[in-house]
């Protein structure tokens, strides 16, 4: 009659199984997750990148799938297994899981990575179904009417029992009652929704049962005199007895105080009392803090410090969890004897030893600009990180983390590829990471330069911002120019330009124009400019720099151009692009020591 085509119980509607009770109904979800993981496994992803993909792609897929109902436990275990293997494997090969999955799924400030356990997501979906049944705000929805008619015809949701003919969904809902029941409470209004028996609206609600069918569906409103804002004493005593009625009358002396609104079911873990999926996940995760104040401060620094890249953050977290993948770490997990260091043949090759106590590591840290003496540092990872975080602040802490990551990368090359350990090579790698952190806008520098740096530093910060300017010009009129901003000896921004110009001075002037395009007037006034062009040198010392530059850029006074030509050397015949590249490279390679430093504007 309806011209509907026959189907089976594996039908999908809007990406969700129509029937969600058996593992076969979630085969499409498992296959989609596996397909995503396989496509990522072929790429060179760090564990920090894998964690991001799991949180951004896999977890939303599962969240959408459980919107139609909870998954069977076998599907939950299978998804957890696939995600764990993907997170730890490398190049398609299974690796040892150095940190437990229960730790990884904790919040970041509790020592985890903030990933979600699929069992918790599944439980939160079940709790959401139970909440909708208990709150009575969804009684008009068909699925609520069906479940209520089938299982709750003459029973309270909180007192109903499961039978052999119950569906898996209903059994899962009833199994969740103990968790949700201890975290909800009815907030009385006019008493129109909350039932006298079977609803948690007072402390001893489970001790009272209805004596007849009339009392079974009685609401609290039938016990309240809304006109006098008091209880009907006889009705209250008939339901709870004298002592029970006395307790309720004492607990709710003005039962009709909020008679202007309906009753409301309160989710106690939420500050606003509203149930949410995130709140259910937090409740099921058992996020009662067991982390000490020192550990929490370490974790807060790791995840919130602005000068750290994701890979460096993740590596510091691994050190915090004592899971740096050294030979001794693997031996400890396999309950085998400790392994000696492969570079110094002393003690055992733990993460702290490899990064701070090894002879090569001690030489490396002494050679850094921090000049750390690591002999006195604690041997326990968390104590060591606490000492470092308490001692180093701001950019020094960022530099420390970048140097630690660079040392680990260089050590891996020495051990696995047979290269020779070289302190200079390690420091060169560290400088690259420092430059990457600052060019990404992670370092706090002078106020202004918002397009480069982001938020400025504290007012009392002692920071020196310098800008190197240079230009070159050949006989054909091809010019190249560049500006390099540096802060505290580190390159934080550079830009080059090229084109056809009329004089060597205009190459230098265009370099200044590049700097002006990304700065503010305040930045220009607080910056120290370094240039080899004498005319530009004098111009930068003038007070009307912002007024003079537009005029000079439009073929300004010939006297300036002639004087500029005397102090600038013509480049070899080459294209303007090559000229610009050469100028930019010379600045970034440290040619600034040949330039004359000007005073700040």
pLDDT at residue 584 in the model = 53
d(CA 311, CA 405): 8
- pLDDT over 60 at 446, yes or no: no
pLDDT of residue 83: 93
Percentage above 90 pLDDT, the chain: 11
**240 and 265 both lie in a single domain:** yes
* Helix or strand run (H / E) with residue 494: strand 490-500
- Flag whether pLDDT at 25 surpasses 90: no
Q: Are the CB atoms for 193 and 262 separated by under 8 Å?
A: yes
Burial of 74 (0-12, 13-18, 19+ CB in 10 A): exposed
3-class secondary-structure state, position 184: strand
Tell me which range, 105-119, 127-141, 386-400, 523-537, is most confidently predicted by mean pLDDT. 105-119
> What's the structural domain count of the chain?
4
Domain match, 276 and 299 both: no
Average pLDDT of 321-349?
Answer: 80
Same domain, 477 and 419: no
Dist CA 326 CA 351 (whole Å): 6
Is there a domain that residue 199 lies in?
yes
- DSSP secondary structure string for all residues of 304-351: H-TT--HHHHHHHHHHHTT----HHHHHHHTT------TTT--S---H
How far apart (Å, rounded) are the C-alpha atoms in residues 411 and 315?
Answer: 14
Instruction: Looking at mean pLDDT, say which of 419-428, 502-511, 521-530, 577-586 comes out highest.
Output: 419-428
Task: Residue 569: give its domain's CATH number.
Answer: 3.30.420
For the cut 50, the answer to whether the pLDDT of residue 569 exceeds it is no
For residue 404, what pLDDT band results from cuts at 50, 70 and 90? very high
| 460, part of any domain | no
Higher pLDDT, 400 or 189: 400
The pLDDT, as a whole number, for residue 455 is 35
* 263 and 364 fall within a common domain: no
Domain boundary among 418, 436, 454: 436
Domain edge (last residue) among 248, 282, 316? 282
Highest mean pLDDT among 380-389, 420-429, 496-505, 548-557: 380-389
pLDDT band at 14 (very low <50, low <70, confident <90, very high): low
Do 84 and 101 meet the contact criterion of CB atoms below 8 Å apart?
A: yes
pLDDT exceeds cutoff 70 at 537: no
Within 10 A of 64 (CB to CB), how many other CB atoms are there? 13
**Both 268 and 227 in a single domain?**
yes
**Residue 164 domain-assigned (yes or no):** yes
Helix (H, G, I), strand (E, B) or coil at 594: helix
Give yes or no: residues 179 and 97 share one domain: no
Report DSSP letters for 131-147, one per residue: HHHHH-S-TTSHHHHHH
- Based on the fold, state whether residues 265 and 322 are members of the same structural domain: no
Instruction: Look at residue 558 in the predicted model and tell me its pLDDT.
Output: 32
Find the domain containing 152 and state its range. Answer: 140-282
Domain-embedded: residue 450 = no
| Interval 282-322: pLDDT, tens | 888 875 567 788 899 999 999 988 878 888 999 999 999 99
Asked whether residue 540 falls in the same domain as residue 582, the answer is yes
Domain boundary among 282, 316, 336: 282
Together in a domain, 325 and 428: yes
pLDDT at residue 97 is higher than 80:
yes
pLDDT confidence of 601, banded at 50, 70, 90?
very low
Determine, yes or no, domain membership for 457.
no
Q: Has residue 275 been placed in a domain?
A: yes
In this prediction, residue 104 carries a pLDDT of 92
572: confidence class by pLDDT, cuts 50, 70, 90: very low
Q: For residues 124 and 464, which has the higher predicted lDDT (pLDDT)?
A: 124
Q: Which residue has the higher pLDDT, 516 or 63?
A: 63
- The answer to whether the CB of 42 falls within 8 A of the CB of 36 is no
Same domain, 244 and 119: no
Determine the 3-state secondary structure of 580 from DSSP. Answer: helix
Which stretch of 71-80, 217-226, 301-310, 535-544 has the lowest confidence by average pLDDT? 535-544
Kindly state whether residue 443 falls inside one of the protein's structural domains. no
Same domain, 303 and 276: no
Query: Is 544 a residue whose pLDDT tops 60?
Result: no
Residue from 411, 409, 462 nearest 431 by CA? 409
Least confident of 142-151, 255-264, 389-398: 255-264
Examine residue 131 and state whether it is found in any structural domain, yes or no: no
Residues 490 and 516 in one domain: yes
Alpha helices in 418-475 (DSSP H): 423-439
């Amino acid at each position: 009659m309806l011209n509907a085509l026959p189907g089976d119980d594996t039908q999908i509607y809007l990406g969700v199984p129509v029937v969600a009770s058996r593992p076969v109904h979630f085969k499409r979800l498992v296959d989609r997750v596996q397909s995503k993981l396989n496509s990522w496994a072929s790429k060179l992803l760090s564990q920090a990148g894998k964690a991001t993909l799991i949180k951004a792609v896999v977890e939303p897929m599962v969240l959408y799938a459980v919107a139609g109902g909870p998954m069977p436990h076998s599907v939950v275990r299978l998804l957890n297994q696939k995600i764990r293997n993907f997170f730890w494997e490398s190049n398609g090969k299974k690796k040892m899981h150095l940190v437990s999955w229960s730790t990884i799924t904790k919040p970041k400030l509790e020592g985890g990575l903030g990933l979600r356990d699929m069992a918790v997501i599944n439980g939160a979906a079940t709790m959401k179904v139970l909440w909708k049944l208990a709150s009575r705000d969804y009684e008009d929805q068909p699925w609520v009417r069906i479940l209520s008619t089938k299982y709750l015809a003459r029973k309270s949701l909180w007192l109903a029992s499961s039978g052999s003919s119950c569906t898996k969904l209903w059994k899962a809902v009833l199994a969740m009652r103990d968790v949700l029941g201890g975290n909800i409470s009815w907030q009385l209004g006019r008493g129109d929704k909350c039932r006298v028996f079977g609803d948690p609206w007072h402390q001893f609600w489970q001790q009272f049962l209805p004596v007849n069918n009339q009392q079974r569906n009685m609401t609290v409103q039938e016990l309240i005199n809304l006109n006098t804002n008091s209880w009907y004493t006889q009705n209250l005593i008939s339901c709870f007895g004298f002592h029970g009625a006395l307790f309720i009358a004492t607990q709710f002396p003005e039962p009709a105080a909020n008679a202007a609104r309906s009753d409301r079911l309160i989710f106690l873990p939420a500050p606003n009392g509203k149930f949410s999926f995130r709140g259910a996940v937090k409740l099921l995760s058992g996020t009662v803090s067991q982390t000490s104040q020192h550990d929490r401060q370490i974790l807060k620094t790791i995840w919130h410090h602005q000068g750290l890249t994701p890979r460096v953050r993740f590596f510091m977290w691994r050190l915090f969890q004592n899971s740096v993948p050294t030979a001794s770490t693997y031996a400890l997990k396999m309950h085998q004897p400790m392994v000696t260091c492969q570079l110094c043949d002393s003690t055992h090759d733990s993460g702290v030893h490899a990064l701070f106590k090894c002879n090569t590591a001690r030489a490396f840290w002494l050679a850094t600009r921090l000049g750390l003496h690591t002999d006195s540092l604690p041997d326990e990872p968390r104590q060591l990180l606490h000492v470092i975080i308490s001692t180093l602040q701001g950019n020094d802490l960022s530099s420390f983390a970048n140097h630690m990551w660079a040392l680990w990368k260089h050590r891996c090359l020495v051990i696995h590829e047979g290269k020779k350990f070289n302190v200079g090579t390690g420091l060169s790698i560290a400088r690259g990471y420092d430059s990457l952190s600052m060019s990404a806008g992670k370092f706090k520098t002078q106020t202004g330069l918002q397009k480069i740096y982001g938020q400025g530093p504290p007012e009392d910060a002692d920071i020196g911002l310098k800008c190197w300017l240079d230009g070159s010009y050949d006989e054909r009129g091809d010019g190249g120019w560049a500006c390099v901003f540096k802060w505290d000896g580190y390159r934080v921004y550079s830009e080059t330009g090229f084109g056809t110009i009329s004089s060597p001075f205009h190459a230098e002037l265009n370099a200044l124009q590049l700097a002006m395009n990304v700065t503010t007037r305040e930045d220009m006034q607080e910056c120290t400019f370094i240039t080899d062009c004498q005319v530009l040198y004098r111009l930068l010392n003038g007070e009307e720099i912002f007024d003079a530059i537009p005029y000079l850029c439009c073929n300004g006074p010939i006297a300036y151009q002639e004087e500029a030509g005397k102090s600038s050397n013509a480049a070899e015949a080459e294209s303007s692009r090559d000229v610009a590249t050469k100028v930019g490279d010379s600045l970034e390679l440290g040619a600034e020591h040949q330039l004359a430093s000007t005073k700040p504007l």
